[in-house]
Amino acid sequence: MHVAITLLTILASFKWGDWKNWREYHASMLFISTGGLLYEYIVKEDTLWKFHPDFFYGHEMVVIIYALITMPISVFLFLSHFPSSWSKRIPYIVIWSVVYIIVELILYITGRISYQNGWKFEYSFIFDLVMFSVIALHQQKPGRAYLLSIIIITILINLFKIPFKF
């Protein structure tokens, strides 16, 4: 399932991605990669969700695939068509969040993701809304997005009582 999601994301990028302007989105693509890898490093085995592998690799390899391929390409697709009109931005973020939650539901039903440390499937939609909003903010005002991310991460670590490890 994880491999299929990654392959479909790559194929979608060839069809709908704004490859002529990919450099405009590059910093936000790195932002999501760094955030995903940093999250895994900080929380170690106390993650809020855990990926279960499809074939021959473990949770860590799934995380690397998502952090280095799937998520950056998703951000590229998301930003490739991000509306300039404020009235269209919120529905656009909601649509992307719905797509993400549907994919997560499929992962949950097929046993490819599980939740721990108090996280529930229902929280994921709110997380997706916030994530896409922060990505959009990062594209325009990266400093504010970094500050907001630190605040959100701190709240999540405290709310779910995740041991902060280095």
Q: What is the DSSP string of 29-75?
A: HHHHHHHHHHHHHHHTT--SEEE--SSS--HHHHHHHIIIIIHHHHH
The pLDDT confidence band at residue 42, using thresholds 50, 70 and 90, is: confident
Q: What is the mean pLDDT of residues 24-41?
A: 94
Show the CA angle centred on residue 29, arms to residues 26 and 31, nearest 5°. Answer: 110
56-65 pLDDT per residue, tens: 677 788 889 9
Q: Is the pLDDT of residue 162 over 90?
A: no
- Are 71 and 135 in contact by the 8 Å Cβ rule? The answer is no
Residue 133: which of 100, 104, 157 has the closest Cα? Answer: 100
103-140 pLDDT per residue, tens: 999 999 999 999 999 999 999 999 999 999 999 999 99
Residue pair 100/123 in contact (Cβ under 8 Å)? The answer is: no
**What is the Cα–Cα distance from 107 to 160, expressed in whole angstroms?**
22
For residues 125 and 108, give the distance between their C-alpha atoms in angstroms, rounded to a whole number: 13
pTM: 0.93
For the chain, how many residues are written?
Answer: 166
Q: Would you tell me how many other CB atoms lie within 10 Å of the CB of residue 103? A: 18
